[in-house]
Structure 1
Amino acid sequence: MSEVLGVRGLRRSFRQANVTIDVLRGVDLAIRAGEIVALLGPSGSGKSTLLQAVGLLEGGFEGSIMIQGREAAAFNDAERTAMRRDTLGFVYQFHHLLPDFTALENVVIPQLVKGASRAEANARAQSLLTGLGLAERLTHRPSKLSGGEQQRVAVARALANRPALVLADEPTGNLDEATADIVFDEFLRLVREEGSAALVATHNERIAARMDRVLRLHEGVLE
C-alpha cells in the first residue's frame, strides 16, 4: 500500500519565560493508505502538537512532513488550504459544529467549499449521516442533538470530502464511556468503508487496541 503520511525528524520547541520546552524531539512515523493508527500517550505528551503539525495547522516545526508524496514545507498558503480541504479530515474532542446550521448542512458545507454541486453534497451528506444512524435527525441543529449525535455529525463532516487521511484528537474524550464506545465503533467502521487512513490521538488503551497499530508518544519521541 502507498504511504499517505511520512514524518521524518519532526521537532517542536516552545519558549516559556526563559525556558525552552522540547515537545517533539525527532518524531518519525509512516502511515499507509487505509491504515488506522493509534497515537497513545498521556495528556501533555505532545499528541495534539503532532496532529497540528501533520494537519498543517501550525508552523514552527523542524523536520519533514510528506502527505501523499508531497513535502508540506514546500506548500504556499493556497496549497496548504487546499490540502486541508481536499486531503485531510479532522475530528476533535469537541465537535465544533456550526450552531446555526442543521446536521445535514454541517456536512454539506465543506463539500460546497470544495466545489461539489448542491445535489451531490446533499446526497453524500444524507448517505453518511444515515449510515451513522442519524436519518431522523438531518434537519436538527446541534443544540437539539445529544453529545453522541453531535460527534457523529462531526465524523460525517470529516469524511465528507473523502479525505486520504483523517486526523482525530481524542474524538470520544468528551463522551461517557458507553456513548464513546458506540461512536468510536461507528467511526472505525466508516473510516474503513471509506478507505481512508487515520491517525487517532488518545490516552485510552482500550480504544487504542481496536486500531491496526499503536504508536506511543513518550517524552517527545515515538516508541
Structure 2
Amino acid sequence: MNQPVVRLRNLRRSFEQGGVRIDVLRGVNLDIRPGEIVALLGPSGSGKSTMLQAVGLLEGGFEGMIEIAGTDAAKLNGDARTVLRRDHLGFVYQFHHLLPDFNATENVILPQLVSGKAEREARERATELLTALGLGHRLDHRPSQLSGGEQQRVAVARALANRPALVLADEPTGNLDEATADRVLDEFLKLVRGEGSAALVATHNERLAVRMDRVMRLNEGVLV
C-alpha cells in the first residue's frame, strides 16, 4: 500500500470570539493516498477553509498531527515548512488570484522559477498544461482578457505546474455559473488524475462532490 500523501491525526483548531471559545475543528483524522481525489463537503462556515489552511501549512494555531509526504510539519521551522509547501502542495482558490500584469503562460511559469526550474523548461511545462486545459490559443492573454472559466483554468495549471503530490482546492468552481463550473471541474479532475496527483477539494455542492473518488463531510468540526 502506498504511503499517504497527507495524514491528519486529531487535528484541532479553536478561536476566541467575544470571550467565547469556538471549536472549528474537533479532532479531524484523514488519510489521502497518491492519486486519490477527495471531496470535503460542508455548508459555508463549517470549517472547510480552516481545514485546507491547516493541510496547506498556511496558518498556525492548530493542534494535532499534519504529515505531508511523510514529514511531520509540527517538527519543522518556518523556512522548512515553506519548502515542504512549495515542493509538495498546489493550491486552487475560489478566486483565481492571477497576477494581472502577466499573461497566462507567465502566471504558470513563475511558481516554477521560484522552485528553481530553468525558464525554458518552465515555459514548456506551462504551455503543456494550458494546452491540455483548452487554452492553447490564449497563452499570451492577460487575466483581464480571459473569461472567468479561462482564468480558473490558468489557476489550475499554476497549481499543477510543480507536479505537487497534493492539490488543495477551496471551492474552485464556486465563482462560476453551473455550466462553466461543470466544464472546469471536468478538466480539473482529468488533469489531476493524468498527473498522478492527489487532491482535497472543498465544496458545498453535492452534485460536484459525488464525481470525486471519495466524499468526506465536515460536521460540527469532525469528518464523517
State the TM-score, normalizing by the size of structure 2: 0.99
CA distance in 1, matches of 2:100, 2:84: 25
- Name the residue aligned to 2:138: 137
Deviation at 1:69, TM superposition (A): 1.1
- For residues 50-199 of structure 1, the aligned pairs below 5 Å read 50-199=51-200
Say which SS state the counterpart of residue 172 (structure 2) adopts. Answer: coil
**CA RMSD in angstroms, aligned pairs only:** 0.5
Describe the superposition over 1:113-154 as per-residue Cα deviations: whole angstroms up to 9, x where unpaired.
000001000000000000000011000000000000000000
Deviation at 1:86, TM superposition (A): 1.2
Give the paired residue count. Answer: 223
CA distance in 2, matches of 1:220, 1:77: 26
State the TM-score, normalizing by the size of structure 1: 0.99
Deviation at 1:54, TM superposition (A): 0.4
Equivalent AA in structure 1 for residue 18 of structure 2: A
Say which SS state the counterpart of residue 5 (structure 2) adopts. Answer: strand
Describe the superposition over 1:18-67 as per-residue Cα deviations: whole angstroms up to 9, x where unpaired.
10100000000000011000000000000000000000000000000011
Equivalent AA in structure 2 for residue 86 of structure 1: D
CA distance in 2, matches of 1:43, 1:72: 27
Deviation at 1:77, TM superposition (A): 1.3
5+ long unaligned stretches in structure 2: none
Describe the superposition over 1:59-91 as per-residue Cα deviations: whole angstroms up to 9, x where unpaired.
000000011111010111111111121100000
CA distance in 2, matches of 1:177, 1:37: 21
- Name the residue aligned to 1:209: 210
Deviates most, 21-30 or 70-79:
70-79
Equivalent AA in structure 1 for residue 164 of structure 2: P
Task: Flag as ranges the 4+ runs of structure 1 deviating above 3 A.
Answer: none
Deviation at 1:2, TM superposition (A): 2.1
